[in-house]
Amino acid sequence: MNKAITTISYALALSATLTFAGMAGAETSSGNNHNHSHSHDKQESVYDGYFHDDQVKARELSDWEGDWQSVYAYLVDGTLDPVMADKAKHGDKSAGEYRAYYEKGYKTDVDRIVIDGKKVTFFRGKESVTGDYETDGHEILTYNKGNRGVRFIFRKSAGDDAAPRFIQFSDHIVAPEKADHYHLYWGNDRAALLNEVTNWPTYYPASLNGKQIADEMLSH
């Protein structure tokens, strides 16, 4: 995939000595961009990544408040196979190729995230770490394809040492609105995370079962 060109909308100088320590083990890759398809119509829309800068508004952590589950296990166990088949029907890859692509994108060992007020708790099975997070602006990413995305960024202000210093939300929404799912990037280097475009752990409400999540994906 092509390299993402970052348009900085919120300037923050970071020390070059910071190291990336994402809990999901995602590696920074500046040679790709995150253009994954959600199998919706081709009209230019905010969801597809076509919007004006003045449409982008600050968002609070409350937009993502709730109890969320990773969809990775549903891809692995075959629950999302109908979604991959549908993508193949409308896209340019086979179902197996789409599955391999999403395998890399969804992969994570953080199977649950709970967001309550300023607190974000990351779960690996029964183990968890928690941090308090404050808004740290947003960044607009422009892709060679011509579409764009927004990362809404939050910085840890307190909490467990093992909790990531930065979290970045991407959910195809550019202004205040409750998210129905999201992609999350996390680690200790704000700038490096903006170049991570091949691994995007994805979370849906914990109240949904696998079939309901597949149906939600197919509806886009």
The residue count of the chain comes to: 220
* Whole-number pLDDT of residue 25: 36
What are the tens digits of pLDDT across the range 87-108?
999 999 999 999 999 999 999 9
* Whole-number pLDDT of residue 8: 36
* Whole-number pLDDT of residue 118: 98
The residue among 207, 211, 205, 219 whose CA lies nearest residue 70 is 205
Ranges of residues in the chain with a pLDDT under 50 are: 1-43
φ, ψ of residue 26 in degrees (nearest 5): -75, 135
* Whole-number pLDDT of residue 143: 79
* Whole-number pLDDT of residue 44: 55
Q: Which helix (H) or strand (E) holds 76?
A: helix 72-76
* DSSP codes, 164-211: -SEEEEE-S--SS---SSEEEEEES-HHHHHT--S---EEEETTS-HH
State the Cα–Cα distance between residues 128 and 130, nearest whole angstrom: 7
* Whole-number pLDDT of residue 115: 98
**Residue type, position 178, single letter:** K
Domain boundaries, the chain: 5-52+62-219
* Whole-number pLDDT of residue 112: 98
* Whole-number pLDDT of residue 63: 98
* Whole-number pLDDT of residue 145: 82
Start-end of H helices in 92-145: 95-106
Give strand pairing partners of 133.
156
* Whole-number pLDDT of residue 7: 39
Fold entry, domain 5-52+62-219 = Lipocalin (2.40.128)
Sign of CA dihedral 174, 132, 12, 109: negative
